[in-house]
Structure 1
Amino acid sequence: MTHGEPDTLDLQDPGQAPPATAPLAEQKVTWLELFFDLIFVVAFDQLSKRLGDSPGLENIAEFGLMFTAVWWAWAGNTMLAARYGNETRAYQWGTIAQLISMAVLALTLRGDLHDTGLAFALAYFANRALQVGMDLSIDRELPGGAPFARRTGQALLVVALAWLASAALPAGSTPQIALWCVTLLADLLIPVLVQRRLGHHLGSLPHGEHLPERIGLLQIIAMGAIVTEVVGGSRQQALSLTTLSPALSAIVLTVALWRLYFDQARTLPLLGAHLKGQLSRMLAWLYAHLPFTLSVIVLGVGLGHGISAVDAKKDAMNQQFVAWPLSAALLTLVFLRWNSRRVAGRRGPDRSLLAMWAGALAAAALGFIDLDTAQLHGLAAALTVGVSLLVATDPVTRRLGQIEEKVTEQLLEEPGPAQSDAARTDATSANPPTNSDTRSS
């Protein structure tokens, strides 16, 4: 038992009936899904090169927009598999088609939008249209239908047509980019609005193990992109202690960041949605991975180009691409841990939260200090390693992980109704959900 905190976690509101959630059946990530995810290695590499080649404000904004679109294309496919399984014919054939559309989309990511805007719009329209087809086909294929997929597909059809309409606008023009922004925002909001309308019982919640595994695999891909950027940057310089030292620091930083992310109790918000109906916290958990993944990719650009840079102006920009993305990544981890603690009903001080907060502030401060590449990478690595050690050795981190494991095991069991109620009440103990957690979701 962690000192000062309950030893159990109750993810069930004692004042209401248990949500109508079936026990989790095993759902493994398939070879097709792994192949689909590998396309994003190419997409992230293209986006990184785009940002590194021209780190101006306009290009940074375009990078953010295109990255969000790419991440959301991945999320749509992943969420569909996590909600309705990866063995349906609609999902398998649709994923193969989406894989091709994403490969074409990746070809357009590095070019100037005045040259590639038309191709990007058409490729993304194809991806969205395929997503519509997958949603509606799964609704027809599954016995009893799939309400979430059906309503999402119907709304997404309008979004897909808007992407098609944007192809008629001048490539890379302000009206075209503005329409992309509005359309992408609407696309991001569709699952939230549909989930709120359907509620817990008809929402077909994502699988409690499959979705976190897919999300974790994408973070590994993003962190692998840092190593790729560092190796690429090192190629631009002669091998020496001057170049090897910052490269080694960057790799150590990446390992520490990996440890920080995977040391968290990553699935508690999703488990809370299954057992307690906390849909808002589940959605917040999912969407928080967008800024985290984006921060990791930009951090890789800063680390890699910092090693290869010979121009003082670019070197100063790369310093900002290390300081601020590292700070943003740590702040996202602060939110993810806070969200998990809220689901678990944890109160009181948390040294890991304080450590990550302090690390985020220290990382941001690196952007205001005149440092050379070796100093910057060394300080950033030392900072990240220090925070990761504090989090890894925190008893609260260990206890949250134990709670997560226990609740997952209970969800994977197949008890009868009476046993199911007992399992929920035995799972863990904390505060009951607030009205806003169940009603607003």
Structure 2
Amino acid sequence: MNLQRTVEDAPSEAQDQESSVYQEQKVSWLELFFDLIFVVAFDQLAKRLGQSPDFMSLLHFGLLFVAVWWAWAGNATFAARYGNESRTYRWGTLAQLVSLGMIALTIRGDLVDTGSAFALAYGVNRLIQTGLYVAVARRGPAVAAFAGRMALAFGTAAALWLVSAAWPGGSAAQIGLWCAALLLDVLTPVFIRNHSRHALPHEGHLPERVGLLQIIALGEIVTEVVGGSRQQELNANNLIPALAAIVTAVALWRMYFDQARSLPLLGARVDRRVEGMLAWLYGHLPFTLAVVVLSVGLGHGLSAAGSSKAAEDQQLVAAALALALLTLAFLRWNSLRVTRRFFPDRSLPALLVGAGLAVGLLFIDLDTFRVHLAVAALTTLVALIIATDPVTRRLGQLEEAVLERLGEGDQPDSVEDALEELPQTPSG
């Protein structure tokens, strides 16, 4: 206990310097509770989109989704950068939990009625995040270079959110202020990335948090499928497409977790290439969004089977699946780039071809039964290609090797250095 309090309450100057010392950081119970709030948030967003999937509703859905996702990302990246055991983080996260509960209450309704309440709740969430970074910035000049700038950006964004509550709900002025605030939040880490070398996210903790959020999003597919199936009789014509939708969720899970998810963060730590880390983190936004939209399309396709609305659901399924596969292709390419080597990778082409085939579903008139079977077959095939790709295993071995050396206090000079020490295979 004394050792833990020393690390927690009196950060040493050594923690602010570049060091090969690696300390394990597990996800805490509080963080798990925090992430579970997004089960409700994603469900509310899915129901919002399912009520009227027209163009304007899609725009509002996308805006609200980015805001909700960034509220999660702010907490997750802070914990991965500065630890999840301090009193400041624990109390700040509890306060954010309350604000997120209010956000979840206000994202389903019409923005005309709930826009101002949402803006107030989100503005409070940003103020709490600002306070967390202000507390960290007081530790010393090396930390303040990054944390101080983040606090300034979050504080400005919070002010924009709170001011927007004075405008009529859903008005162009209010939406414009929201977009400005989100752009400030999202772009600030990119613009100040050169100051982040003393605040790199933990290579094990952040991928674990990100993976938990993807599980929550994939679980939304099952929720929507069960909800959609309630509208139909339990017979083969409805049970088979429901089963196919669940198989799709499993295949997407396999595709995502077969990736070497820590490599871009390890590259940032070892090679000081922060851009790959940011690309990895930001790449998860479109993937999570695509999975939630896919859940809406699959679930509502079951409930609307045989009706004119089934065609709209097919469009959602095809577009969302294409976006999910494209994002996975980008994440794969980003991990390959960290190695600075050419690998005869067959997973990347498979993901790109799969995305193209998903786009093709936009132009084919199929009923719900055939759409779900086609999507399940496509995702399962791509998942099998990735799982059996020798490069997938090679990247996983490289990730484990770098993490093992960090755990032993022996940080490699580069990711390439660790790659050289791996046993040679036909793929490597």
TM-score (norm 1): 0.89
Greater relative contact order (Cα < 8 A, sep 6+): 1
**Are positions 1:155 and 2:150 aligned together?**
no
Question: Does the 8 A contact of 1:24 with 1:208 survive in 2?
Answer: no
The structure-2 alpha-carbon separation of the partners of 1:272 and 1:233, relative to structure 1 and needing over 3 Å to count, comes to same
Partner of 2:7: none
Partner of 1:121: 119
Partner of 2:361: 366
Question: Does the 8 A contact of 1:90 with 1:138 survive in 2?
Answer: no
The structure-2 alpha-carbon separation of the partners of 1:24 and 1:297, relative to structure 1 and needing over 3 Å to count, comes to same
State how 1:241-390 maps to structure 2 within 5 Å.
241-309=236-304, 312-390=307-385
Equivalent residue in structure 2 for 1:396, among 391, 396, 400: 391
Question: Does the 8 A contact of 1:229 with 1:305 survive in 2?
Answer: yes
Which moves more between the two structures, 344-353 or 30-39? 344-353
Question: Does the 8 A contact of 1:21 with 1:275 survive in 2?
Answer: no
Partner of 2:224: 229
Question: Does the 8 A contact of 1:406 with 1:427 survive in 2?
Answer: yes
Cα deviation, 1:212-243, whole Å, max 9, x if unaligned, reads 00000000000000000000000111111111
Question: Does the 8 A contact of 1:356 with 1:387 survive in 2?
Answer: yes
SS in 2 for 1:312: coil
Structure 1 distance, partners of 2:22, 2:140, is: 17
What one-letter code is carried by the residue in structure 2 that aligns with 1:125?
G
**Are positions 1:26 and 2:21 aligned together?**
no
Structure 2 distance, partners of 1:357, 1:216, is: 22
Partner of 1:207: 202
Cα deviation, 1:301-357, whole Å, max 9, x if unaligned, reads 000000001573321110011111101100001010111101012315321111111
Shift of residue 423 of structure 1? Answer: 8.7
Cα deviation, 1:253-287, whole Å, max 9, x if unaligned, reads 10000000000111111100000011111101100
What one-letter code is carried by the residue in structure 2 that aligns with 1:70?
V
Partner of 1:70: 68
Shift of residue 150 of structure 1? Answer: 2.3
Equivalent residue in structure 2 for 1:193, among 191, 194, 203: 191
SS in 2 for 1:428: helix
Which moves more between the two structures, 35-44 or 157-166? 157-166
Question: Does the 8 A contact of 1:319 with 1:367 survive in 2?
Answer: yes
Partner of 1:130: 128
Shift of residue 422 of structure 1? Answer: 6.9
TM-score (norm 2): 0.91
Shift of residue 364 of structure 1? Answer: 1.0
Partner of 1:56: 54
Shift of residue 141 of structure 1? Answer: 5.8
The structure-2 alpha-carbon separation of the partners of 1:422 and 1:182, relative to structure 1 and needing over 3 Å to count, comes to closer
Cα deviation, 1:52-72, whole Å, max 9, x if unaligned, reads 011111010000000000000
The structure-2 alpha-carbon separation of the partners of 1:421 and 1:272, relative to structure 1 and needing over 3 Å to count, comes to closer
SS in 1 for 2:308: helix
SS in 2 for 1:20: coil
Cα deviation, 1:174-209, whole Å, max 9, x if unaligned, reads 11111111211111011112223x153x3x100000
Question: Does the 8 A contact of 1:226 with 1:304 survive in 2?
Answer: yes
Partner of 1:4: none
What one-letter code is carried by the residue in structure 1 that aligns with 2:418?
A
Structure 1 distance, partners of 2:19, 2:225, is: 45
Partner of 2:419: 428
Structure 2 distance, partners of 1:386, 1:146, is: 48
What one-letter code is carried by the residue in structure 2 that aligns with 1:233?
G
Cα deviation, 1:357-391, whole Å, max 9, x if unaligned, reads 11111111111111110100000000000000011
Question: Does the 8 A contact of 1:156 with 1:190 survive in 2?
Answer: no
SS in 1 for 2:366: coil
**Are positions 1:240 and 2:235 aligned together?**
yes
Unaligned 5+ segments in structure 2 are 1-16, 422-428
Partner of 1:409: 404
Structure 1 distance, partners of 2:142, 2:207, is: 27
Structure 2 distance, partners of 1:279, 1:422, is: 16
The structure-2 alpha-carbon separation of the partners of 1:422 and 1:218, relative to structure 1 and needing over 3 Å to count, comes to closer
What count of residue pairs does the alignment treat as equivalent?
405
Shift of residue 393 of structure 1? Answer: 0.3
Shift of residue 24 of structure 1? Answer: 2.0
Shift of residue 414 of structure 1? Answer: 2.3
Equivalent residue in structure 2 for 1:109, among 107, 110, 126: 107
Unaligned 5+ segments in structure 1 are 1-18, 431-441
User: In angstroms, what is the RMSD of aligned CA positions?
Assistant: 1.8
The structure-2 alpha-carbon separation of the partners of 1:424 and 1:58, relative to structure 1 and needing over 3 Å to count, comes to closer
**Are positions 1:94 and 2:92 aligned together?**
yes
Cα deviation, 1:118-152, whole Å, max 9, x if unaligned, reads 10000000000000011112333689755422220
Question: Does the 8 A contact of 2:154 with 2:185 survive in 1?
Answer: yes
Question: Does the 8 A contact of 1:36 with 1:95 survive in 2?
Answer: yes
The structure-2 alpha-carbon separation of the partners of 1:423 and 1:363, relative to structure 1 and needing over 3 Å to count, comes to closer
